[in-house]
Structure 1
Amino acid sequence: MAGIKKINKSCFFTSLPLALCLGMSLLHSSVAVGQSGWTKEKKEGFYQLSYQSLVSKDYYTLGGELLETNQFSQQSIVFYGEYGVTDKFTIIANLPLQTWNGFENTQKVSGLGDLRLEFKHAILKKYLPLTISVAPELPIGKANNFAKSTINDFEQINLPSGDGEFNVWSTIATSFSLPNAPLYGSIFGAYNVRTEYDGIQFNDQYALGAEVGYQIAKKVWINARLNALATVGDVLVATDFVRGDGTEYTSISFGASVPVYKKLHLNLNYRNFNDLIFDRKNLYSSGVVSIGIYYERK
């Protein structure tokens, strides 16, 4: 691929070898951006369809060095749903229905993403909500999805919509809400047991996060989130393209939701990455804009 402006000193490349030098995570991480200590009441539900977009030239290597590459873009349509089986047990599904990946000098390829199913149980519910959850991620997405170069049609690069591995997230979360004010907060910690794809073993990951939210005029909810992801152990060599092995980051996001019709709400969110807790490694860094519509059943 052509058009590199800044080059990692440990990896000199021209044309297609870019695919061999970069081990970036285009999907960043499958860990949920927000986790809470609440479960749904029995038969309650929350269902959202959202669109999100990232466009960036800034890639951070496994060593944390910044490369300026050809512009990469990713857009996704994602379904997210929660259903209260009992007052203390909630099932959650997160599925990218379609993800489009491409560089400015390649074709854009698309495919179904991996399905994450989360089983969430309330340990404490009344005074200090506390939950634990287990979330297997099923590799049903396209683990290999090659995009041809628009400059040299004999070159191609793998831009999968799924990482091809089975992994399991375990999360503990707690939340609070004030009785006399429309204010809430949550914190969580999570651990991701990763397996392998095509004979390549991936390193485990851990994550932490916090969120605060406030309701304005009894209608508009606003929130701010801090999330951080790190890899267990050192990943010294990029094992493959778009598998997320060695990915680390800190992110801050701001969101708002407004009612639009009966139980339908519009949700807007902006997320960006930084080095506040964990330095950025193995990812494209830019603002991620998302817009969604959700329905709540109570």
Structure 2
Amino acid sequence: MKPIYILIALFFSLQITAQSPWTQEKGRFFANLSYSSISDYSEMFGEPDFSISGTITDRTYQFYGEYGLTNKTSLLVNVPLKSIDINNYVDPAILCMGNCAQSFSETALGNITLGLKHNFLKQKWVLSGQLNMEINTSSYDETSAIRTGYDAYTFTPMFLAGTSFGKNYFQSFIGADIRTNNYSSNLKIGGEIGRKLTQTIWLIGFVDISQSLNNGDISFPANNAANSLYVNDQEYVAYGLKGILQFCDFGLTAGFGSALSGNNVPKKAAISFGVFKTF
């Protein structure tokens, strides 16, 4: 397996928490199937931190693909299927006697992403630009107040940089999420460093920061605002570890990520597992 495919697999072992400056060779296709979960959370980062009614489990089944249009330009696609459960929810607006807890479950598409990545420099440092578009393919259920993605189109321009040295590599990105429908936009910056521990194992640490510009004023139904599923002004300072076990052009990935601080995001770590193949 060429190092480029290993690095791309590492970058997508969680839900696109980092971005790779490396592009596919012309005609090559990289595919990654992954599962991630934030289980049974009820505590949220905020100003101040707050609790939600009941507990939420947020699962994502995700396909990511990258195809080399040329040796310098890749086409990207990401398709998330969301499965969200809310358990033991008690509506504070309803007065009832006895056990009023309810449970809900919804499975639907999240925001499908299409993108283009172009490499400008491939020497000691690899420098690239990327433009993603998240399509408004998510859904909202009024009864459960479960939202599976942002009710908006999101345009994400980014500048990407990376380098490798010996058994190590480093990469970073800076960009912005520009959302429609009166959502606030976010500034994004992050980076990661990884090391090849053995012939088949890589270990990576990452930092990912998303900061809201607080320039949107979209409103939400009260129960959706209370559960904070894809509401406005979500932001975080996140960190985590990722790893890969490779077998030629096939491999397995795993990782976890958590937030040091944030707003309208869970105070609970996410775990992820995946499998990838290059063609």
TM-score normalised by L of structure 2: 0.82
- CA 1:212–1:296 in 2, change beyond 3 Å: closer, same or farther? same
Determine the structure 2 residue equivalent to 1:110.
107
1:245 has 2:238 as partner: no
Structure 1 partner of 2:94: none
| 2:124 equivalent to 1:140 | no
Match of 2:163 in 1: 176
- Per the alignment, residue 218 of structure 1 pairs with 199
Distance in 1 separating the partners of 2:137 and 2:214: 27
Structure 2: which amino acid aligns with 1:185?
F
1:46 aligns with 2:19: no
Return closer, same or farther for 1:92/1:32 CA change in 2, 3 Å cut-off.
same
Residue 33 of structure 1 corresponds to 17
Matched residue of 2:144: which SS?
Answer: strand
Counterpart residue identity of residue 243, structure 1:
Y
- 1:60 corresponds in structure 2 to 45
CA contact (8 A) 1:42 1:86 kept: yes
The percentage of aligned residue pairs carrying the same residue is 19
Give unpaired runs (5+ residues) of structure 1: 1-29, 147-155
Deviations 1:176-230 (A, max 9, x none): 101xx1110001101111100xxxx111111100011111222111111100111
**Match of residue 13 from structure 1:** none
Aligned to 1:153: none
State the match for 1:259 in structure 2: 246
Retained in 1: the 8 A contact 2:183–2:215?
A: no
Aligned pairs for 1:69-80 within 5 A = 69-80=53-64
Q: Identify the structure with the greater strand proportion.
A: 2
Q: Is the 8 A contact 2:244 2:254 kept in 1?
A: yes
Structure-2 separation of matches of 1:186 and 1:272: 20
Q: Would you say 1:290 and 2:272 are equivalent positions?
A: yes
Whether the 8 Å contact between 1:266 and 1:292 is mirrored in structure 2 is: yes
Deviation at 1:68, TM superposition (A): 5.4
Q: Number of residues paired by the alignment?
A: 245
Distance 1:58 1:263 in 2: 40
How far apart, in 2, do the equivalents of 1:189 and 1:32 lie?
Answer: 14
- CA shift for structure 1 position 57: 1.4
How large is the RMSD of aligned CA atoms in angstroms? 2.0
User: 1:67-103, CA deviations, whole angstroms, 9 ceiling, x for partnerless residues?
Assistant: 254211111110011111111101111111x211121
* Match among 266, 270, 275 for residue 256 of structure 2: 270
Match 1:230 to one of 211, 214, 233:
211
1:224-255 C-alpha deviation (Å, 9 max, x unpaired): 11001111136688645333311111111101
Give 1:145 deviation, angstroms.
2.2
Q: Distance in 1 between matches of 2:73 and 2:153?
A: 23
